[in-house]
Amino acid sequence: MKKATQVRIVASLALVALGATGVAQAQQSDMSFFVTSAGPGKGADLGGLAGADKVCQSLAQAAGAGAKTWRAYLSTQGAGAVNARDRIGRGPWVNAKGVVIAKDVAELHGANNLIKQTALNEKGQVVNGSGDSPNMHDILTGSKPDGTAFPGPDDMTCGNWTSSGKGSAMLGHGDRTGLNDSAEAKSWNSSHPSRGPGGGCTQDDLKSTGGNGLLYCFAAN
């Protein structure tokens, strides 16, 4: 009798675990926003917008959300400049836990719900931020606070995401935390340009200010 009871308990626990796994998988398949868990490892050289989108799509696929069309939140400069806000769809966007980040483009660039606890990666994990080791809160965007491209002449996109040497890229703080309480320090998409002894766009340069070449990814459909 005792053995039968133990078997029933084990079976019940297994069903609970399967149920929890199913819920997590369903949430991730519904996911329409995430911060990348890793970058290509070549600094700000992402292979242009197409290469960055491929990173988003590949990570989403691995997380079970590959049926959607994923776009990196990045702007470009110069002839044919692209605004990050114009390439990510209309929303709403939810993270891997089903929490709404913003209902539309206007809210995303206004009073959104993007903070450290909600800016999760595709695995549903919190991304290291200010105070963590290593800090990885600098997210590549190349964008102004309203999600549009910088007019130039200063490089704010590391050569439209093709340079891993000289240049600079505008970064946002995924944890909305910086060295002070200024709007820039708390900006998720336009906090400060990259910099460093390698020229501003190398992997080590990005790491030196608290980054790792990470991206914001949004489902555009």
Q: What is the DSSP string of 109-127?
A: TSS---STTT-BBTTSPBP
Cα 182 to chain centroid distance, Å, stands at: 22
User: C-alpha angle 43/127/179, rounded to 5°?
Assistant: 80
Q: What is the pLDDT of residue 10?
A: 47
pLDDT surpassing 50 at residue 16:
no
Q: Tell me what the pLDDT averaged over the chain comes to.
A: 91
Alpha-carbon gap, residue 43 to 215, rounded angstroms: 12
pLDDT the model gives residue 29: 74
Average pLDDT rounded to a whole number, residues 65-88: 97
Q: Are strands 138-140 and 211-219 parallel, antiparallel or unpaired?
A: parallel
The pLDDT assigned to 18 comes to 43
> What are residue 198's DSSP bridge partners?
none
| Alpha-helix runs per DSSP H in 31-157 | 48-62, 105-108
Note the pLDDT tens digit of each residue in 196-218.
999 999 999 999 999 999 999 99
* 183, 184, 188, 193: CA torsion to nearest 10: 170
Q: How do 33-35 and 211-219 pair as beta strands?
A: antiparallel
Whole-number pLDDT of residue 4: 57
Query: Which domains are seen in the chain, by residue range?
Result: 30-219 (3.10.100.10)
Looking at residue 5, what is its pLDDT? 55
Residues 186-199: what's their mean pLDDT? 97
Length of the chain: 221
Tens of pLDDT, residues 131-177 = 999 999 999 999 999 999 999 899 999 999 999 999 999 999 999 99
Q: Across residues 24-47, what is the average pLDDT?
A: 87
Cα–Cα distance between 160 and 105 in angstroms, integer? 23
Q: Are 101 and 118 in contact (CB under 8 A)?
A: yes
Q: What is the average per-residue pLDDT within 113-132?
A: 98
- Whose tokens are 């909600």? That residue is 118
Please report, as a single letter, which amino acid is at residue 57. Q
% of residues, the chain, pLDDT over 70: 87
Q: Tell whether the model's pLDDT for residue 184 goes beyond 70.
A: yes
